[in-house]
Amino acid sequence: MNSVANVRQDVALAPFTTWQVGGPARYFLEPTTVEEIVQAVDWARAEGLPWTTIGRGSNLLVSDEGFPGLVVRLANNFAGVRFAEGKMHAQAGLALAQMVVKGLEHSLGGLEPMVGVPGTVGGAVAMNASAHHVEISKGFIEGRVLRPNGQVETWSFDDFRFQYRHTRLHDEQGLFLDGVWQLDVVDKPAGLARVRELQQWRNQKQPTNVPTGGSTFRNPGGEHPAAGALIELVGAKNLKVGGAEVSEKHANFIINRGGATAADIQALICELQTRVRDRFGVVMHPEVIGLGLAVGLPR
């Protein structure tokens, strides 16, 4: 264990999530190099330990018991960005807001709506994050992925199989290392003005200054109202379990009022699913991903 560079033991995960809940990771790595990641993942596999990757924890519900294996956190330490031949090369841990602003500094844009998504490039690629009809896959050319067998491969745009909040990374436990984007040539002041406009929109429509996991459920699609509207229709706005509460500002957001546990949030999620299912026959599937727990009602 001591031979694995920079791996720490029993590290609290709550501070690494936007909900600010959850127990510790048994082993935890914030790598600075690909080699460190490969070494740690090889070690976890050899020990028979589960392992996973996180970014800024903005789409994660971590169990109160924590995670019994290795968590690799790709954030500030693995956040390089460079530009060559009009293309952006970004590492997985780069914050999306930084990605947008750095791009605009080089008069490259098109991903401005990502500025309000509080995750990393890696988390966004894994989730195929989108906002205002712009997906992180816009302009994406290729990316490097660490496979569970320790091999690093380059995947093309098609290889990632971008879908609504899902990619092949989840199916095959691929760890996204870095990627290349061909962005649009844009006017920098106009891009920055758009960024400010988008930030104002977020502040008006969503709870931005309280701990939250973002949109709790995927929108059911088809003819159904959006998840937030369904939650309002069953009278669950402001519904509380312990320290967890359905946001007044946006019913698809659950906020941590202070002292919430993962169990509180999980119970509230199940209650919302039950109410909507019983009233409308619609099963709302969580968008939030569980770490050490399965989010929502059993499937």
Ligand X SMILES: Cc1cc2nc3c(=O)[nH]c(=O)nc-3n(C[C@H](O)[C@H](O)[C@H](O)COP(=O)(O)OP(=O)(O)OC[C@H]3O[C@@H](n4cnc5c(N)ncnc54)[C@H](O)[C@@H]3O)c2cc1C
Nearer to ligand X, 24 or 118 (CB): 118
Footprint (CB under 6 A) of ligand X, residues 196-215: 206, 212-214
Task: Give whichever of 174 and 191 is closer to ligand X, judged by the CB atom.
Answer: 174
CA dist 131 and 191 (Å) reads 16
Give the residue with the Cβ less far from ligand X, 257 or 277.
257
For residues 126 and 140, the answer to whether their CB atoms sit within 8 Å is no
Contact call for residue 169 and ligand X (CB under 6 A) = yes
**Residues touching ligand X: how many (CB under 6 A)?**
32
Specify the residue, 198 or 274, whose C-beta has the smaller distance to ligand X. 198
The Cα 194–Cα 115 span in angstroms is 10
Give the strands of the sheet with 51-54, arranged side by side: 8-12, 24-29, 67-73, 51-54
- If one asks whether residue 130 binds ligand X (CB under 6 A), the answer comes out as yes
The answer to whether residue 165 is catalytic is: yes
In whole angstroms, what is the distance from residue 213 CA to residue 19 CA?
5
Residue 214 has phi, psi (to 5 degrees) of 75, -155
Catalytic residue among 215, 245, 247, 275: 215
- Using CB under 6 A as the binding rule, whether residue 62 contacts ligand X is answered as no
Tell me how far apart the alpha carbons of residues 150 and 40 are, in angstroms, rounded to a whole number. 10
Report how far residue 296's alpha carbon sits from residue 168's, in angstroms, rounded to the nearest whole number. Answer: 22
Residues in contact with ligand X, shown as a per-residue x/- string from 82 to 111 under the rule CB under 6 A = ----------x-------------------
CB atoms closer than 10 angstroms to residue 27: 24
Q: Report yes or no: 118 and 56 within 8 Å, Cβ to Cβ.
A: yes
Question: Which member of 22, 31, 57, 109 binds ligand X (CB under 6 A)?
Answer: 57
Q: Which range, of 2-10, 43-51, 58-66, 265-273, touches ligand X by CB under 6 A?
A: 58-66
Q: How far is the CB of 33 from ligand X (least distance, A)?
A: 14
Residue 133 C-beta: closest distance to ligand X, Å:
11
Structure tokens at 97: 């807001």
Whose tokens are 């400010």? That residue is: 196
Residues that bind ligand X (CB under 6 A): 18, 52-60, 74, 92, 117-120, 122-124, 126-127, 129-131, 169, 175-176, 206, 212-214, 289
